[in-house]
Amino acid sequence: MNLRRNVILLVLTAAVLPVIIGILAVFGASPVEDTGKQDYHLARSTAWLLMRDLTGTARTFQLGTELFELPGLSKDETTGVLRMLYKQDEDVDVVVLLDSDDQAVVGPVFLRADQIVAGSETSGRLPANEDDLGQFLKHLPITECRKNQRAFSGVYINKRKNVAMLAGAVTVETGPEKKPWILAFERSLRRVQRIVSANVVGAQQTMFVVDQGGRLVAHPQGGRFLNREQVDSHPVVAEFLKGQDNGDLRWQDEEGNTYSGAFQQLDFLGWAVVVQRRLLPLHALGWRLPVWSWGAWACLAGLILFSVFRLESGVRRMLNEMQSLRDSAEKKAEQLKEVQASVLESGKLSAIGDLGAGVAHELNNPVGGILGLTQLMLRKKAEDDPDRRFLVRIEEEARRCKAITDNLLRFSEQQGIEHREPLRLNRVIGSTVDLLNQKLQSQRIEIERNFGTDLPRIMGSEGQLQRALLNVLLNAETAMPEGGVLTLTTQSEGQSVVLKIKDTGFGIAEENLEHVFEPFFTTKDNWKGAGLGLSEAYQIVKEHAGEVSISSQEGKWTEVVFRFPVEDESGPGETSATVPLA
């Protein structure tokens, strides 16, 4: 059978197969029934996250009433307890303790604008003033709290802060002959808004939260929920207001667009999470063709065109290209292995992040209680008391536990870089090294800066990059306990800016190199800490669309390489030179 006959058979096959595939695709089409289920499950999981977040704040304050006998403490001790509870949640703006006559036992605890310090734990909190305190006290659910032992107010808007607020209260036992005291707090709904925004998947999907009156509590468009917009006419919200616990439905708007939606009611507060999805035209018909049919038709269309316009010469060319395709496939296979390794590493980071967040959240409350009780006991002990040294040791260990859990939380709650700006990598490195310069000099570590000139700028967050560099530099310092040389090199390579950090320490064993970026990986003989430093650096560089690699020769040196993409429009270059530091 000659080549021409093969081509004719190929054309005939290409003409018949589309018909067969079309018939199979029509019979294999399935109704789009899972869209509503997906919306419902998304609404349900988001409602669970919101419940966990809101009740977590109330549980923290309830635990505070159980750990400390507030009516028996002095005013200074009571103020200390309120400050400790205030620091447990960065979204809590005010904490106040009311006695049985609804009068403040001590002054309310809150942050004033002039008390904010950049870079400290106060920098992420919202300050309050006298007007804010008045608005908070006005919304306190005191009557309901005395009736049910725990209560939340409705949502109200603080126009000065431009944020939605919620007032909560729990009772404090004072004995059988008196009315209980009330421990009250005000918290913002910023975290609720972040949870709702983070769970939206795809441009066709919208998620929002409404209260029992059909008014917005959270919405991707901030202006709508800050105006407490009434959305009771929305088809899904209307179903919720009828008293249903959950449900899903489908409808069309005035322009003929088809939507599906679902909602899930929270177990308390009377809120509901609503998910809305705009359906594509094929889905709106209620059917979905198998995915494989589209690929089959595309391949056959190309085959027909190839057969008609190329014929014998095309077949010969195809035979010649097969070898090059085979070579390309081998290269792609190697690239696929690298991608798979990267995906596996990201999966490990995500899994350990979830685990770390759960463990840290569960440990923070009891550790905070231990630390608070110890500090209160230390205040009552004289300097020469023999028990004081044991209490000091307990306080140190409790602080150490809290530092570990805080580190876990920071590692697990990284959600990408919120703000990017053009940066000069040499300047970021210089400011980071200056932070450790004194410490490195005391360790007899010499720093060499081999900075390239006229480097293009990169896009990123200076704070995040400094954090990644500090983790690597501290690892290098640990690797050179007897001193050594730390070399920092920057250079431009094509569309990338490269940073190389090389130390003359004891190096890393070859079998450990592939694990150094895994969370909690460490070697007992050589390293100290929780094993999160390089993992955190790896994640930060990946968030900058960069690459990280490491090489080492055991007993001699280790080199970490960061590679960042350049900014689209580079600014003027920068000049530097090799500067050895004593």
Got the DSSP string for 488-540? EEEEEETTEEEEEEEE-SS---GGGGGGTTSTT---TTT--S-S-HHHHHHHH
Alpha-carbon span 43 to 229, nearest angstrom: 20
Q: What is the CATH number of the domain that holds 248?
A: 3.30.450.20
Same domain? 21 vs 54: no
Residues 480 and 377 in one domain: no
Instruction: Show the tokens assigned to 237.
Output: 């919200």
Domain total for the chain?
4
Question: What pLDDT sits at residue 456?
Answer: 93
Tell me the whole-structure pTM to 2 decimals.
0.45
399 and 538 share one domain? no
Last residue of a domain, one of 413, 438, 463: 413
How far is 89 from 125, CA to CA, in rounded Å? 9
Q: Is the same domain home to 214 and 67?
A: yes
- The pLDDT of residue 192 is 87
Q: Is residue 371 helix, strand or coil?
A: helix
The DSSP bridge partners found for residue 563 are 498, 547
For the stretch 151-183, what's the b/e string if a residue is b when 16 or more beta carbons lie within 10 angstroms of its beta carbon?
bbbbbbbbeebebbbbbbbbbbebeeeeebbbb
Assess whether 16 and 48 both reside in one domain: no
What pLDDT score does 337 carry? 66
3-state helix, strand, coil in the chain (%, to 5): 50, 20, 30
Which domain, by its residues, includes 385? 318-413
172 and 218 inside one domain: yes
- Residue with the two structure tokens 């840290």: 360
467: domain CATH number is 3.30.565.10
| CA–CA dist 165, 405 (Å, integer) | 28
Amino acid at site 390: F
**277 to 49, 193, 218, 290, 557: CA distances (angstroms):** 20, 19, 17, 21, 55
Closest by CA position to 471, among listed 403, 541, 402, 412: 541
Measured CA to CA, the distance from residue 492 to residue 422 in angstroms comes to 16
Domain boundary among 413, 432, 459: 413
How many CA atoms does the CB half-sphere of 169 hold within 13 Å? 29
Beta bridge partners of 497: 492, 564
Q: Quote the CA–CA distance of 347 and 135 in Å, as a whole number.
A: 45
How far apart are the C-alpha atoms of 507 and 139, rounded to whole Å? 61
E strands within 19-68?
Answer: 30-31
Residue type, 392: V
pLDDT, tens digit only, all 582 positions of the chain: 455 665 565 566 556 656 665 555 544 444 445 566 778 888 888 888 888 888 888 888 888 888 888 888 898 998 998 888 888 888 898 999 998 888 998 989 988 887 777 666 666 678 888 888 999 889 999 989 888 888 888 899 988 888 899 999 998 887 776 788 899 999 888 888 888 888 776 667 888 999 888 899 888 888 888 888 998 888 888 888 887 766 567 788 777 788 888 888 887 788 888 888 887 664 444 445 555 555 665 666 666 666 655 555 655 666 666 677 767 767 776 766 665 555 555 555 555 555 555 666 667 678 777 878 888 887 878 888 888 878 888 888 877 677 666 655 555 555 444 567 899 999 889 888 887 887 888 889 999 999 998 899 998 888 788 888 888 888 888 888 889 999 999 999 989 999 999 999 888 888 888 777 776 666 544 444 445 567 788 888 888 889 999 999 888 899 999 999 998 654 444 433 333 332
Please identify, among 413, 442, 461, the residue that sits at the C-terminal boundary of a domain: 413
Query: Quick one: 358 and 216 in the same domain?
Result: no
On whether both 220 and 111 belong to a single domain, the answer is yes
Distance of CA 561 to the CA centre of its chain: 25
Question: Strand pairing of 246-252 and 258-265?
Answer: antiparallel
pLDDT at 61: 84
- 25, 35: one domain: no
Do 24 and 39 fall into the same domain? no
Distance CA 364, CA 407 (A): 12
CATH number at residue 376: 1.10.287
* Residues 428 and 506 occupy one common structural domain: yes
**Whether 370 and 517 share a structural domain:** no
Residue 484 and residue 504 in contact, taking contact as beta carbons nearer than 8 Å: yes
